[in-house]
Amino acid sequence: MVWLFARGSAARARKVRCLLAIFLLGPWAVAWASESPAPIHIYLDADRTHNQASAIAIERGLQVALDEADNQVQGRPVALVTTDHRGNSLRAKRNMEQAFNDPSTLLVMAGMHSPPLIKYRDYINEQQMLTLVPWAAGGPITRYSKGENWIFRLSVDDTKAGQRLAAYALTDKHCKHPHLLLERTPWGASNQKSLTAAFQGKLPIEPPTSWFNWEVSEESARIMLRSIVNSQADCLIFVGNARDGITIMNAAHSLAQWRTIPVISHWGITGADFSKRVPHATREALDLSFLQTCFSFNAPDLPARAQKVLNLASTRYPGIRSGKDIQAPAGFIHAYDLGRLLLTALNRISLGDDMPTNRAALRRALENLPTPVEGLVKTYQRPFAPFSHKAPDAHEALGLDDLCMARYTADNSIELLASP
């Protein structure tokens, strides 16, 4: 059985279970409580307020992977403890501290936002808290060279994303004067660096960049967009999350002169309700495409594992009847695959009562998985390795060949475009 706790309720929930058992079963409950193995805690810290779809997708993907293992590890139940940082880095730090101070915590799984992980990367590694990343794409997140690296990612890596976005802009959209529109955060800065490098030598000049702050107003967006149009841009590369993407795309659609400029987006727009609040007609008029990894539940012929996973998801979550019902599918897909790698690594170590010792053994096991692990995106052949400055991708499970472009269909599902 997997127990799911809300933020700060883990201890209370344990007390309630024990008291209820004692009340109902009397002395037998005392013996049961003393013999039952303590649950292992996996914290899921994500933005469950402003980008709820991505947080829920990550939770469900990991849950389905755990379902395949009967929701236990070496006879010990797994408890998922969810926390909500609401897109705020300081709140994320407090949630990290909560997880770090819980003696039952085995690891933390992060959400879609890169800024908390970039800002507190050193802190995470200094605390030796194993952290798995199924969404956040900021390049610096997994590249810690001051000591042991405790962060592993199975997701888009912006050091590769820039290459895919730039290649698509130049080859598929035939852009001569691309313009970068980036959120003013460490994630935006990471993308400016990777995109500028990807375009280097392929354009006469470096692409100009415009910046916006979170929660930009539609009027401010129009002012920026008019300036971009007047700069003779022939395509826009957008890096931002769904909330600001909604504002900016609807603002662009309101400008008649924008209709001939295709929009190429990073995948942050897929983390919430973007497709519901930017209608299909608007998306078509903007010629909107965006980054994804190269697997979709909406493919016509699903592999056997993918169909099995979809069946499990449908059983646990009645609202999922087909792949089209999985919102923010990248979060589900990556969290499931990370769960598969995690369980494989856990089967190679002996879990004890000391969680720091367990985490250290698990980190080594993740870096040395000897056998292939079948996932949704691909079959993973030693996805991780010991990190060093000579091996900067050692904690990245995916590479450039795993990145594709996609678009929303009329029914708001995601359709992959031709593979690279």
Count the Cβ atoms, other than its own, within 10 Å of residue 347: 11
**DSSP state at residue 169:** I
| 4 pLDDT above the threshold of 70 | no
Give the β-pairing of 373-374 and 379-380: antiparallel
pLDDT of residue 32: 41
Between residues 25 and 201, which one has the greater pLDDT?
201
- Written as one letter, the residue type at 91 is R
Could you identify the residue written with the tokens 């649950």? Answer: 39
CA distance 66 to 408: 30
pLDDT band (50, 70, 90) for residue 303: very high
CA distance 381 to 370: 8
* Average pLDDT of span 176-183: 98
* Of residues 14, 54, 377, 337, the one with CA closest to residue 22: 14
* Of residues 111, 1, 101, 93, the one with CA closest to residue 51: 111
DSSP, collapsed to helix, strand or coil, labels residue 50 as coil
State both tokens at 389.
């400055």
| 73 pLDDT above the threshold of 70 | yes
Per-residue pLDDT reduced to its tens digit, 228-258 = 999 999 999 999 999 999 999 999 999 988 8
Per-residue pLDDT reduced to its tens digit, 26-71 = 544 444 444 678 899 999 999 999 999 999 999 999 999 999 999 9
pLDDT > 90: what percent of the chain? Answer: 86
Per-residue pLDDT reduced to its tens digit, 358-376 = 999 999 999 999 999 999 9
State both tokens at 409.
């269909």
CA distance 376 to 333: 7
Helix ranges, 151-231 (H): 158-167, 186-199, 218-230
Record the pTM.
0.89
pLDDT band (50, 70, 90) for residue 13: very low
User: Environment class of residue 354 by beta-carbon count within 10 Å: exposed (0-12), middle (13-18) or buried (19+)?
Assistant: exposed
Count the Cβ atoms, other than its own, within 10 Å of residue 58: 31
Phi-psi region of 75 (alpha: psi -120 to 50; beta: other; left: phi over 0): left
Mean pLDDT of the chain: 91
Domains and CATH numbers, the chain: 3-157+306-399 (3.40.50.2300), 159-292+404-416 (3.40.50.2300)
Continuous segment of H or E residues that includes residue 404: strand 403-408
CA distance 142 to 392: 8
